[in-house]
Amino acid sequence: MFEARLTQGVLLRKLLDSMKDLVQDANFDCSSTGFALQAMDSSHVSLIHMQLRSDGFDHFRCDRNLSMGVSLNNMAKILKCMGNDDVLTMKAEDQGDSVTFMFESANQERISDFELKLMDIDSEQLGIPDTDYSATVKMPSAEFARICKDLSTIGDTVLIAVTKDGVRFSTTGDIGSANVTVRSHSNVDKPEEQVVIDMQEPVALTFALRYLNSFAKATPLSNQVMISMSKELPVVVQYRIEDMGHISYYLAPKIED
Amino acid sequence: LKGQRPISSFFFVK
């Protein structure tokens, strides 16, 4: 038996909205540790890893490990039927072929349940090695989303270069070129607006903007985004979900010709 | 995808 109750049900809807454009079908892995998903996008260029810890839920019960295969698009459609302030409860039997989403309005006057059929999905779990990154940038997630969107009007790829002076996002295209530089700054009153650059050595890598724009769909989940880079390694774009976990996206850099 | 290694090649299969 799996049962998980989330007062802020809207959180799961935001999570689905931040994954469904990249991944069609995936397994949610339920265990006593929590509720997790790891999946590659259809072109196998990027990897999503999201994890919600069991202690972040108001109630969490998972008698035995369970892998729930779902169409993310269909699950997102169901979660769209949830009110913004609803409490969400997910339930699934150990050997069942469906998962139930129950939505309770804050005043308890409306209770609805939606059942989603599960699918068998073959997926290999990848091990992600711990890495000491050359540079890690923490910045407002909305600023990162804006930069990726703005640069997409000019080019298809972005060069992200971290130096001690700041982080520069550059692109070129048929109509011209663009650069946005963000400098580190702290703001005691508004920590969500600060930019923190932790650099061991300068690093510059090129990425497809299409993917970064998909990752930025996670912006509503967190005020800040953390971008970690090392030479010739995938970038990690991580959104921390307060008191619960994170969603992290891995994207391989473009190879120079 | 052109100019890009598959992401799985950076990780190991569990």
CA distance A26 to A133: 28
Q: Is the pLDDT of residue A38 over 60?
A: yes
CA distance A140 to A160: 16
Residue A32: Cβ-neighbour burial (10 angstroms; 0-12, 13-18, 19+): exposed
Find, among A135, A212, A231, the residue nearest to A171 by Cα. A212
Across the interface, whether the CB atoms of B10 and A252 are under 8 A apart is answered: yes
Q: Is the pLDDT of residue A4 over 70?
A: yes
ipTM: 0.89
Average per-residue pLDDT in chain A?
Answer: 96
Collect all residues of chain B within an 8 Å Cβ-Cβ radius of residue A250.
Answer: 7, 10
Give pLDDT, residue A203: 97
Collect all residues of chain A within an 8 Å Cβ-Cβ radius of residue B4.
Answer: 45, 208, 252-255
CA distance A127 to A29: 15
Q: Which amino acid is at A231?
A: K
Element (H, E) at A152: helix A141-152
Could you tell me if A211 lies within 8 Å of chain B, comparing CB atoms? no
Of B4, B11, B12, the CB nearest to A45: B4
User: Could you tell me the sign of the dihedral formed by the alpha carbons of A119, A120, A124, A126, in that order?
Assistant: positive
Over pLDDT 70: what percentage of chain A? 99
Two tokens at A44? 């196998």
Across the interface, whether the CB atoms of B6 and A252 are under 8 A apart is answered: yes
| DSSP for residue A131 | -
* Interface A:B, Cβ pairs < 8 A: 52
Q: Is the pLDDT of residue B1 over 70?
A: no
CA distance A142 to A60: 32
Where residue A125 falls among pLDDT bands split at 50, 70, 90? confident
CA distance A98 to A92: 7
Residues 6+ away with beta carbon under 8 Å from A167: A137, A139, A160, A161, A181, A182, A195, A197, A227
Tens digit of pLDDT for each residue in A51-87? 999 999 999 999 999 999 999 999 999 999 999 999 9
Where residue A257 falls among pLDDT bands split at 50, 70, 90? low
Inter-residue contact A69 to A121 (CB < 8 Å): yes
Tens digit of pLDDT for each residue in A60-70? 999 999 999 99
Give pLDDT, residue B5: 87
CA distance A181 to A81: 40
Across the interface, whether the CB atoms of B11 and A40 are under 8 A apart is answered: no
Enumerate residues 1 to 14 of chain B having a beta carbon within 8 A of any beta carbon in chain A.
1, 3-14
Question: Which residues does residue A140 pair with via DSSP β-bridges, in sequence order?
Answer: A224
Give pLDDT, residue A187: 84
Collect all residues of chain B within an 8 Å Cβ-Cβ radius of residue A253.
Answer: 4
Across the interface, whether the CB atoms of B14 and A129 are under 8 A apart is answered: no
Determine the residue of chain B that is closest to A255 in CA distance: B3
Q: What's the distance, CA A83 to chain centroid?
A: 22
Inter-residue contact A38 to A126 (CB < 8 Å): yes
Question: Residue A181: how many CA atoms within 13 Å on its side-chain side?
Answer: 6
Of A124, A127, A250, the CB nearest to B7: A250
